[in-house]
Amino acid sequence: MVSKALLSVEDLHVRFQTYAGVVRAVNGMTFGVRRGEIFGLVGESGCGKSVTGFSILRMVPHPGEIVRGRIEFDGENLLEKSRAAMRKIRGGRIAMIFQDPSASLNPVFSIGNQAKRVIRHHLDVDDTEAREAALRMFENVGLPDPVRVLETYPHELSGGMKQRVMTAMALSTGAELLIADEPTTALDVTIQAQILALFNRLREEMAISILLITHDLGVVAETCDRVAVAYAGSVVEMGRTEDVLYKLKHPYSQGLLAALPLPADRGQPLASIAGNVPDGIHLPSGCPFHPRCPYVMDVCSVERPPLVPVGGEGHAAACYLYGQEREA
């Protein structure tokens, strides 16, 4: 468990029963988010990032099921909470925003109507107080003319403004943890930079913790204090952002960074990781990355490697290249 962690996810396993077989979407995910930090969870599509976010809120869609693990928030295991208790935590103490804010806003209700409903659901306030709270948060997230925004409908706002609205609504109830699932993917690069700057400012001013789920290493480098790299449903490397990005140890992390296009490589073939990402039904035995790993050893196909220290503060990797290797 991570020291001083507001959120601790330990050995989380999530399965989906399908006609094709059992999909192991999350397969031993372990990480922690400290108070007042921005923590990145990075990886390719299908590595279990978003399902982990939904699991924290106990919102895994059908036919998914959390089958094992522990999700501890502020010292309490969320997996032991009743549905009524989770309804108070979800959207109250823990809030989530998504990649496409348009899908989260109802097109037939005004922004003000939706914001006030969220606030009144979690706080004991009347309509006037809810409106004032919404205006304060709209102003806090940098929305121009908050009074006008209250009267608009979602289709009248740009993508960046809608993401700011969703952020304001998520934080208007006093959330301690914000889960941001690919919050900048649908935005152009200028608006992306503005949203990331907003997250940094809110973290500093409100001391909120942010779990930033993304596939973009550039976003991680710009924003996150610490980061975990996920592959096939589990964390393969974790640590301070500067350690994971510049002193990376796991072969998968190394492959991800090598695949980034750089200006100096213009005209050269892009690097790639050999093989394909395994599907959740047919995960390899042992280390899930071993069929694609250039450093594979016999033990890698037999036993799954644990996260072991590999350098700086909290820097760990799940790889038999480090620590004590076991005999196959």
CATH code of the domain made up of 5-93+175-317: 3.40.50.300
DSSP state of 259: T
Using the structure block, give the residue that is written with the tokens 């290493």. Answer: 217
Q: Is the pLDDT of residue 1 over 70?
A: no
Give SS3 for 244. helix
Give 260-282 pLDDT, tens digit per residue: 877 777 877 877 888 888 888 98
d(CA 181, CA 278): 22
Q: What is the percent of the chain with per-residue pLDDT over 70, rounded to a whole number?
A: 98
Domain boundaries, the chain: 5-93+175-317
d(CA 99, CA 274): 29
For 153, half-sphere exposure in the C-beta direction (CA atoms, 13 angstrom radius) is: 5
Give 90-129 pLDDT, tens digit per residue: 888 999 988 787 888 999 999 999 999 989 888 889 999 9
Q: Please, which residues have CB within 8 angstroms of residue 85's CB and are 6 or more apart in sequence?
A: none
d(CA 290, CA 206): 42
Question: CA torsion angle for 221, 249, 43, 231 (degrees, to 10)?
Answer: -160
Q: Is the pLDDT of residue 324 over 70?
A: no
Q: Which residue has the higher pLDDT, 182 or 31?
A: 31
Tokens of 328: 């196959």
The predicted model scores a pTM of 0.90
